[in-house]
Amino acid sequence: MDRQTSQNLGLDLVRATEAAALAAGRWMGMGQTKVSDQAATLAMEAALNRIAFDGRVLFSEIDKLGAADPLHPGQTVGTGEGPAMDIVVDPIEGRSLLGQGHPDAIAVAAAAPRDAFWSVPPAVYMEKLVVGPLVAPVLVPECLDAPAAWTLALIARAQGKTVSDLVVFVLLRRRHRDLIREIRNAGARVMLRSEGDLVGALKALFRQGGIDLMMGTGNYPEGVIAACAVKAANGGMLGRLAPQTTAEREAILTTGTDLHRIYTVDELVRGNHTFFAATGITDGSLLAGVRYHGARATSNSLIMRGETHTRRTIEAEHLLTPEGSEA
């Protein structure tokens, strides 16, 4: 069997998300976003470099640490031996949530074979719609252009619910004022969060997430990460670039990308050899946060594999060094 097919890279990626979460968790509620970003990024980079693969960072949250970010796009990671993979990472998804001690801050990483991700480097924002496996078969590209009431009726019917039963995850942003109004006027309920639409996508995939779908415009890298999780969960996803500034729009157009095209999950990441890993930093409905117990800490992680549609949850206990990192 080919190594690229047999190796479950998710079991390696989760060590990187665990390392980031252990480093970031110490800063919960401290309001030190830059310091926590740096600690989590350095810990994730060190863990990624111990993985036996030829890794390349495709996207990351480069605005956080600027040019000093050791996980900037194009950076090579891993030992250089093993499958050639592209990775998309976010050492802290929800850094303001972490700084304020709020739920659902997580460390995440996703991987796919080289050039499998849909890549438009100048893109910053993407319009997204994510649903679970029950709704995925009826999801059509028209859902992104249709009135919210039409899309919600379609989703409710697929779930055997009424529209008033639905809960929709939306980021609390000025750009979503009309969307929020449409959802409420249709009779559905809205879960508003200040950040973390990747967590919103995960909540839409699993019953315990407490929502039925995620809608709205969020960061492009998180959209690509979400696609790996959606694919592994047999969920449905639609995405379309949504530049928020003239500069972003013009930069995207220079690549020849069609700004009107709507992409399905299979176009956002090609093939099934995909991996997703996430570790809770603060408590949430899907993952518990890091707990520290003197020289030890516990973590709660999620691993998903596109090839087998396997979902694993891991509760781990870590022995810490005097510096606070994993021994």
Q: How confident is the model at residue 5 (pLDDT cuts 50, 70, 90)?
A: very low
Q: Say what percent of the chain tops pLDDT 90.
A: 88
Hey, how many other C-beta atoms are within 10 angstroms of the C-beta on 72? 15
Residue 67's pLDDT band (boundaries 50, 70, 90)?
low
Q: Is the pLDDT of residue 65 over 70?
A: no
Name the residue among 216, 215, 211 with its Cα closest to residue 165: 211
pLDDT computed for residue 227 by the predictor: 97
Closest CA to 238 of 226, 250, 221, 252: 226
Give the residue-averaged pLDDT of 117-136: 96
- Which residue in this structure is represented by tokens 């967590």? 199
Phi, psi (deg, nearest 5) at residue 254: -65, -20
pLDDT digits (tens, 9 = 90+) for 198-228: 999 999 999 888 999 999 999 999 999 999 9
Q: Model confidence over 19-55: pLDDT tens digits?
A: 999 999 999 999 999 999 999 999 999 999 999 999 9
322 has pLDDT over 90: no
CA atoms within a 13 Å half-sphere pointing along the CA-CB vector of 124: 11
pTM: 0.93
Lowest-confidence pick of 1-5, 74-78, 172-176, 212-216: 1-5
Read off the pLDDT of residues 249-306 as tens digits, 9 standing for 90 and up: 999 999 999 999 999 999 999 999 999 999 999 999 999 999 999 999 999 999 999 9
Mean pLDDT of 164-177: 97
Other CB atoms within 10 A of residue 187 CB = 15
Confidence at residue 2, expressed as pLDDT on a 0 to 100 scale: 44
Q: How confident is the model at residue 324 (pLDDT cuts 50, 70, 90)?
A: low
CATH numbers and ranges of domains, the chain: 3-115+274-319 (3.30.540.10), 125-268 (3.40.190.90)
Average pLDDT of every residue of the chain: 93
